[in-house]
């Protein structure tokens, strides 16, 4: 039997998970876990790079996020779930990579430039934040991961990881690291209630932990086709955000909804009510699981502890090889 290819991916524990995480990341992780040897990480050091002024919520979000992962189908028996800060080899490799990563690579990184431009609530002009992708490279390479499932926004980081990988192998004349490839998430990007990107900071997200009533309320506040004012006005489903939710969460009735909307046979209020029902149906199974797991946080801690031990074993092994190659 040939060994499975390895996957490493991570999420920053900066808040509750929402539907965007589910369709953008979690559904994908669940699909990959049979075929690959998966390492899924709570990226708390990465979170700290943004949340350094107020880091105290991170450990609670870490547990809460992992509860969501497992509720949505991540199986801790199949995949290794761990916490970045509990595996110190990441930081050693991060420092080693930092020595030979040119500043220009990092300063040119589009995600870096964008964040400096867009984020106004905290100061990201820091030494640590510039090095964000170097730590990400260490995360991936310390497990010699071959594949990294990411959204499109993370592709520049993966490209940097590949460059760091080549530079290391070239400098120390040892092919320790395989060059990792992205597995790009295919799901259409889910927009928030107001039509902008779904994000905690925009306050436009539907959280996985929302109650059926909260979902009903949030869906009823969604922006629809702006040209449809009266019930008798024919609608344009292709410009309506509610409709794009149908495409993702209830594709079997999307065509029917499209037709009814165009012919003004269904009103937006009913259309949204139906969508909320569909969403609640989808989240129901998950809610049950979440309720059970939330009652037993010690079990979640045990799962992470076991994952940390396993991750440390693999990561320390790589670090040993790295140091030997460098003559350290
Ligand atoms: N930067 C990723 C994000 O914000 C999180 C992350 C950290 C990650 N380390 C990683 C993702 C390694 C994939 C692989 O979403
Ligand atoms: Fe959007 Fe539905 Fe209203 Fe049509 S009926 S505009 S799809 S909410």
Tens-place pLDDT, residues 257-304: 999 999 999 999 999 999 999 999 999 989 999 999 999 999 999 999
Are 258 and 245 in contact, with CB atoms under 8 Å apart? no
Give the list of residues 6+ apart from residue 12 with CB closer than 8 angstroms, or none.
43, 44, 46, 47, 50
Tens-place pLDDT, residues 302-317: 999 999 999 999 999 9
- Predicted confidence (pLDDT) at residue 136 exceeds the cutoff of 80: yes
**Where does ligand 2 bind, in terms of residues with CB under 6 Å?**
224-225, 228, 235, 237, 240, 242-243, 257, 261, 266, 268, 271-272
What is residue 64's predicted lDDT score, i.e. its pLDDT?
97
**Residue range(s) of every CATH 1.10.240.10 domain in the chain:** 210-290
Mean per-residue pLDDT, 231-246: 94
Q: pLDDT category, 83, cuts 50, 70, 90? A: very high
What is residue 188's predicted lDDT score, i.e. its pLDDT?
67
Q: Ligand 1, residue 145: give the atom nearest the CA.
A: 14
Are 269 and 276 in contact, with CB atoms under 8 Å apart? no
**Residue range(s) of every CATH 3.40.50.620 domain in the chain:** 6-190+297-326
Mean per-residue pLDDT, 231-252: 93
Fold topology of 6-190+297-326: Rossmann fold (3.40.50)
The superfamily (CATH) of domain 210-290 is Tyrosyl-Transfer RNA Synthetase (1.10.240.10)
- Predicted confidence (pLDDT) at residue 79 exceeds the cutoff of 70: yes
Q: If you measure from the C-alpha of residue 275 to the centroid of ligand 1, how many angstroms do you get, rounded to a whole number? A: 31
Tens-place pLDDT, residues 8-27: 999 999 999 999 999 989 99
Q: If you measure from the C-alpha of residue 142 to the centroid of ligand 1, how many angstroms do you get, rounded to a whole number? A: 14
What is residue 186's predicted lDDT score, i.e. its pLDDT?
74
């Amino acid at each position: 039997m040939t060994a499975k290819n390895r996957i490493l991916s991570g999420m920053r524990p900066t808040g509750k998970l929402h539907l965007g995480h589910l369709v953008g990341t979690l559904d994908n992780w669940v699909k990959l876990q049979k075929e690959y040897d998966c390492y899924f990480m709570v990226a708390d050091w990465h979170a700290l790079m943004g949340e350094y002024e107020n880091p105290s919520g991170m450990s609670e979000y870490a547990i809460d996020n992992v509860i969501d992962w497992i509720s949505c189908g991540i199986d801790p028996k199949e995949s290794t779930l761990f916490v970045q800060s509990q595996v110190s080899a990441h930081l050693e490799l991060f420092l080693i990579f930092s020595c030979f990563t040119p500043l220009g690579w990092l300063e040119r990184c589009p995600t870096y430039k964008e964040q400096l431009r867009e984020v106004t609530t905290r100061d990201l002009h820091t030494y640590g934040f510039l090095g964000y992708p170097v730590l990400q490279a260490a995360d991936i390479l310390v497990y010699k991961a071959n594949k990294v499932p990411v959204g499109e926004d993370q592709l520049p980081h993966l490209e940097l990881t590949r460059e760091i990988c080549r530079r290391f192998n070239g400098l120390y004349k040892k092919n320790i690291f395989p060059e990792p490839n992205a597995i790009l998430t295919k799901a259409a990007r889910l927009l928030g209630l107001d039509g902008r990107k779904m994000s905690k900071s925009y306050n436009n997200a539907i959280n996985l932990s929302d109650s059926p009533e909260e979902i009903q309320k949030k869906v009823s506040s969604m922006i629809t086709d702006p040209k449809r004012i009266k019930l008798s006005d024919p609608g344009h489903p292709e410009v309506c955000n509610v409709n794009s939710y149908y495409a993702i969460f209830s594709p079997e009735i999307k065509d029917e909804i499209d037709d009814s909307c165009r012919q003004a046979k269904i009103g937006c209020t009913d259309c949204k009510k139906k969508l909320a029902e569909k969403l609640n149906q989808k989240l129901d199974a998950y809610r049950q699981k979440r309720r059970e797991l939330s009652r037993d946080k010690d079990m979640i801690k045990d799962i992470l502890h076991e994952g940390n031990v396993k991750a440390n074993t693999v990561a320390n092994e790589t670090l040993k090889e790295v140091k030997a190659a460098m003559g350290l």
